[in-house]
Amino acid sequence: MRNIKSMLGLLVLSATLLQTGCASLSKDECRYADWYDIGYRDGRQGFPGDRLVTHAKACGEHGVAPDRTRYLDGRAAGLGAYCTAQNGFAVGNSGSRYYGVCDDDPDNGFHATYALGQALYRARYRLNQIDHELGSVDGVIADKESSDKERAVAVLRRIELTRDRVIAARQLEELEYQAQSI
């Protein structure tokens, strides 16, 4: 089990480093860069426009300047793939950060589906919070070491949480129903 946790930790760290790009490119990446491809990947991942500045600083250390025009052309193409309704939903639903890179264009539908995805993410998160707190409250109620007052407070809190859980579950169901049309 410990080995699995270590592997999961490394996986999360690797994913984080890949997502942030470590804020630099290597000497070889700078020298042999296909700036259109780098721009496309950055756009496809929804990175903000100032990402080129980060690349310029990294490559400047190796005496290389990015091809701004090729980068921006690639980034624009990448944003075309990023700023879609389906991707907006995926980004919001995963809880990923959105850098405000998509135009407020109703044709691409990004913003509306991103908002729905975010709402789903928050609804699931809220339901998990309630379930976690219910577990804690149930522990206090079941604990023979708890005082009568602690149990009474826990029972009242359990009633509130049970009501909140029903409301949260209904909201989640409604949002999931709305998401079916995406």
Q: pLDDT tens-digit profile of 84-106?
A: 999 999 999 999 999 999 987 77
Higher pLDDT, 18 or 138: 138
> Is residue 4 predicted with pLDDT exceeding 80?
no
Cα-Cα-Cα-Cα torsion 57, 61, 63, 66, nearest 10 degrees, comes to -20
Site of tokens 């690797």: 14
> Does 179 or 21 have the greater pLDDT score?
179
The residue-averaged pLDDT of 49-53 equals 93
> SS3 for 70?
helix
* Predicted TM-score of the model (pTM): 0.74
